[in-house]
Amino acid sequence: MLAAFEGWNDACQAATDVVHHLISAYESREVRHIRCDGYYDYQVARPMSCHVQGRRRILWPQTTFYDIAVTPDTHILAQIAPEPNYRWLEYCRQSLHIAEEFEVDRVITLGAMFADCPHTRPLPLDVSDGACQCDMDREYNGPVGIPTVLDAKARENGYDATSIWVSIPQYLGSDQCAQATLRMLEALSGCLGVALDAGDLPKKAERWAAQASVLVRCNDELADYVRRLERDYDLEAKAREVASLGAPQAEQLVREAEQYLRDFGSS
């Protein structure tokens, strides 16, 4: 089961866009819903008015589950919804009951957050299966959203559970970020052992990076800020590389990092 939630956990709609992309790229059908009653504050997640065949309808926030056939042998039960406001534990229990109904053997939650990272480097990705954390080797302490709670409840109920989070440069605002969606789709491919169809996401990601570069070139203060982020990013990458090597190689990398800092300071 793949779960993504609109709102606090979904910077630039990058996480829910993974589900939307899969729905459009593969044969999919709606299979279940969780009614909104008791889970939402309608002053926060407001109902929407729309006209269908000349008649006005009110659309209430709800959870939808899709059966997505990515291969004849691999199906994803995709859960997408606005983040609930109330009764999270009951909501997770209901979600996992549906997972059990469809004989799900693994739960994967998606999330995206704004962070101090440069758009000129691969967007930081955190893939955690509970036993290990990859790429962003740091522990988080602080507020959590419904993906984290669903992930924890899935583990408690005996499911293999994985969380995939991507970081997005906070200086670029809240427009859609195809690069972040693509990063999570690639990580999801690795988790499933299936090469998922990226469609036009690579081209959209290139346009996003090009637009970001234009914005930075037009703002000297922002350009300086991005250069500092690049320096910090590169130093963290060097530090992780040093930590994984033996003493002689580590010393050489330390000298390279020191030279990098001298060159950066004189530029």
pLDDT for 132: 45
**pLDDT 10s digit of each residue in the chain, 267 long?**
999 999 999 999 999 999 999 999 999 999 999 988 899 998 888 888 988 778 888 888 899 999 999 999 999 999 999 999 999 999 999 999 999 999 999 999 999 999 999 999 999 999 998 644 454 445 667 889 999 999 999 999 999 999 999 999 999 988 899 999 999 999 999 999 999 999 999 999 999 999 999 999 999 999 999 999 999 999 888 887 777 665 566 566 666 666 666 666 555
Residue type, 1: M
Per-residue pLDDT at 133? 46
Q: What are phi and psi for residue 201, nearest 5 degrees?
A: -60, -40
Residue 107 near residue 151, CB atoms below 8 Å: yes
Q: d(Cα 3, Cα 19) in Å, to the nearest integer?
A: 8
Please tell me the pTM assigned to this model: 0.86
* Count of other CB atoms within 10 angstroms of residue 191: 15
Residue 50 pLDDT: 87
Q: What local confidence, expressed as pLDDT, does residue 242 receive?
A: 74
Residue 260 confidence (pLDDT): 62
Q: What does the pLDDT read at residue 137?
A: 41
The size of the chain, in residues, is: 267
Q: What are the E-state strand segments in the chain? A: 2-6, 27-34, 48-52, 55-59, 63-69, 75-82, 106-115, 125-128, 133-135, 160-169
Q: Between the CA atoms of 23, 27, 31 and 35, what dihedral angle is there, to the nearest 10 degrees? A: 20
Element spanning 205, H or E: helix 201-217
Q: Do the beta carbons of residue 104 and residue 166 sit within 8 Å?
A: no
What is the bridge-based pairing of β-strands 48-52 and 55-59? antiparallel
Beta bridge partners of 134: 127
Position 253 scores a pLDDT of 62
